[in-house]
Structure 1
Amino acid sequence: MRIATFNLENLDDHPGGGMDFEDRLAVMRPQFLRLRADVLCLQEVNTHPAAKGGPRLYAALDRLLAGTGCEHWHRAASLNRGGRHPADKHNLVIVSRLPIRAHRQVWHDLVPPCAYRPVRAEPPPAEAQKVEWDRPILHAELELPGGRILHVVNVHLRAPRAVWLPGQKERFGRWLSVGGWAEGFFLAEVKQAGQALETRLLVEEIFDADPDALVAVCGDFNSMEREGALRIVKGDEEDTGNGHLAMRMLVPLERSLPENRRYSVIHHGRPVMLDHILVSRPLLGWYLGAEIHNETLGDELVSPATIHGTPESYHAPMVAEFALPAP
């Protein structure tokens, strides 16, 4: 069994900036074929209505998956804040060869929004405002041969980019004060940590129901291993200081790779590992190995292609392989 995660970088069959979607298909479809995945955790999948007022369709994803062998597999996808239909942008999708027994999204179901009154906003608000996460968490229960359940959690945490504040940022992205940028960056950190906490509490619910649960938390964490968001989700024994909790730790699978291969993004010349597959210890017992397909990555900030658009994603896909026991 192979589980993959891939941030598709605004997958959309109506791309802006003069980008040709056919170019994206030509580049990205071989990436899917190379993954040979049985379970795909995808981030940044956009949708459009087929007609005005009609249902929103995953037309770009359908075209990307066509001919890969997984176009007719089971799917679970996130919804907008109202829970009625997919969002325009940045949906989470799980595509699985294994049957999906149940799925749900978690969005402030376990952690309520924080209340915060910005001090640099102009004009300042009269009272504290809700600080809500940008995206939900998607949890699917997949049925393995023999009847066991594999819990797959797909996440896309907030990037560490400052949140807009009234009166502190110009239309084209220039901040008007360092204090305004600092407060916006603080709020971005709150959003990312809050999503990480809600992810961890979801994992806690799974372990409460089954201490030996098979769990894989996959996605774009926008966080490296020793940074706060990933530490919250992992629940490492060295942080809790309690060996009795060791079975609740989630293990980052990139640890099994050489250090010079542990990167999924190149950020201003610096290779960083922002996309992860974390697994429970029972699932780790089935682990065979992992791959990060980062050979063609461009720099997300300084690559010349960022000016006119590129058919590639600036995130490398990661895939992990497991040996399933006989049913």
Structure 2
Amino acid sequence: MTGQGGDGGPKVERWRLATFNLESLDDRLSGADDFADRMAVLRPQLQRLRADILCLQEVNAHTIDGKHGPREATGLDRLLEGTAYADYHRVISLNRGGKRPADRHNLVILSRFPLLSHGQVWHDLVPPPAILPVTARPAPDQAQAVEWDRPILWADVDLGHDRVLHVVNLHLRAPRAAWLAGQKTEHGRWLSVGGWAEGFYLAAVKRAGQALEARLVVEQMFDAQGDALVAVCGDFNAGDREAPVRTLRGDEEDTGNGHLAARMLVPVERSIPESQRFSVVHHGQRVMLDHILVSRPLLGCLAACEIHNETLGDELVGPATVWTAPDSFHAPMVAEFIGD
């Protein structure tokens, strides 16, 4: 899982790590003018981040020649064209077959610094739980595997002088009821409250299970190096005190063991005043769903944190009132670190 260390090159003295959910970035989903509008809005946001390492979520890809050919993230290519990010090292997540990116909602890591190694984790550490649905119609005769929607993407970044930054990019399942056989109409309406409730339960299982797998990825990093520089970034679809984030943080109050405190991950947004600490507006509520969690050694290098939420619209109101809204309804977030 982890790299063997930097190449002894020049030490990086100051660097910026960012995360941004681009919300189904795709140059095919609407007209050319609509995507031009998206680029006009998103590109300045990316440039403002001035990120050296950038974790992106919801990057779509599609085949260029033929249904079964390679998939390319042409929308991302067009968005990054003419920016410094266009020349960064790039890693993109792959589909369940592990041969090409998925058509929707890929993860991407961009880095100005060399990558020592990279990969993805998708039920490699946590098998899919087997659950027998009780409201599905027709009723299945055996338990069914409940798989995560996306992989976890990771990369080891060379910061020079044998320093390695372990970056984990993830996008956890939203708290939205998962599909259940025979319980939804073709228009997406649920046929019973019980069916919706079980779908909501399955979504929670997906989100909690993937948070566990991400935590086990982090555990492997700490097993290899106790003072590892670790950053877990992305759209967690959960607040600081909700179960998925708590699972990843591993606070000593939860483990009850002070000897494990060095393995705790800390949300860097805690350095921002609470009134400004939000990355999504949901039905008028300001919530922090996007996070950068860092290990204690990396927290010691933290110089500043920013959430660029000045233009953030309501994710429920905006799509209903703005035709082909070009914005993302997630605010980008960036943390700046000073080398030790």
TMscore range, shorter length? over 0.9
Structure 1 unmatched runs, 5+: none
Q: Does 1:270 align with 2:290?
A: no
Aligned-pair CA distance for 1:309: 2.1
Structure 2 unmatched runs, 5+: 1-14
Q: 1:196 to 1:17 in 2, by over 3 A?
A: farther
Distance in 1, Cα, partners of 2:92 & 2:335: 21
Q: Does 1:293 align with 2:308?
A: yes
Corresponding residue for residue 140 of structure 1:
155
Match of 1:14, as an amino acid?
R
Distance in 2, Cα, partners of 1:163 & 1:263: 26
The farther-off stretch of 189-198 and 44-53 is: 44-53
| Cα pair 1:19 1:308 within 8 Å, conserved | no
Corresponding residue for residue 21 of structure 1:
35
Q: Does 1:125 align with 2:140?
A: yes
Distance in 1, Cα, partners of 2:316 & 2:300: 38
Match of 1:43, as an amino acid?
Q
Corresponding residue for residue 165 of structure 2:
150
Corresponding residue for residue 130 of structure 2:
115
Q: 1:170 to 1:307 in 2, by over 3 A?
A: farther
Corresponding residue for residue 177 of structure 1:
192
Q: Does 1:105 align with 2:120?
A: yes
Q: Per the alignment, in what secondary structure is the counterpart of residue 278 of structure 1?
A: strand
Corresponding residue for residue 221 of structure 1:
236
TM-score by length of 1: 0.97
Matches within 5 A, 1:1-327: 1-16=15-30, 20-52=34-66, 53-303=68-318, 308-325=323-340
Aligned-pair CA distance for 1:54: 3.0
Match of 1:9, as an amino acid?
E
Match of 2:326, as an amino acid?
P
Aligned-pair CA distance for 1:240: 0.8
Q: Per the alignment, in what secondary structure is the counterpart of residue 3 of structure 1?
A: strand
Distance in 2, Cα, partners of 1:304 & 1:32: 22
In the comparison of the two structures, how many residue pairs are matched?
325
TM-score by length of 2: 0.94
Match of 1:141, as an amino acid?
D
| Cα pair 1:19 1:310 within 8 Å, conserved | no
| Cα pair 2:318 2:325 within 8 Å, conserved | no
Deviations 1:57-80, CA, capped at 9 Å, x for gaps: 111111111111120110111100
Aligned-pair CA distance for 1:16: 3.6
Distance in 1, Cα, partners of 2:47 & 2:53: 13
